[in-house]
Amino acid sequence: QGMADEPIPPPTLAAQVVEHALGVNLHDWLHELREQKVSWRVIAKMIRVETGHDRHEDTVRSWYPDLSPKKDSPEERA
């Protein structure tokens, strides 16, 4: 939905805290990891290790539903 040149703001306070602690755009960071097929569990662990903030993988996944693969929709056209 969002354009590459318009950053998507973190949807929750918890996500904003993590983004601030990481010092990068959270959506872009998560998108990059998901492109590399990194699991949500591993991403949640990375957030805990890098920021000290413990976020459940389901919480992290819920921040940006567009980054979770759709099981029943055709591939998105670039």
Q: What is the pLDDT of residues 51-67, one digit of tens each?
A: 999 999 999 999 999 99
Q: For residue 78, what pLDDT band results from cuts at 50, 70 and 90?
A: very low
Q: What share of the chain is helix, strand, coil (3-state, %, to 5)?
A: 55, 0, 45
The predicted pLDDT at position 8 comes to 78
This prediction's pTM:
0.79
**Spatial distance between the Cα atoms of 55 and 60, rounded to a whole number of angstroms:** 7
In this structure, are residues 18 and 48 in contact, taking their beta carbons and an 8 Å threshold? no
pLDDT digits (tens, 9 = 90+) for 5-23: 677 789 999 999 999 999 9
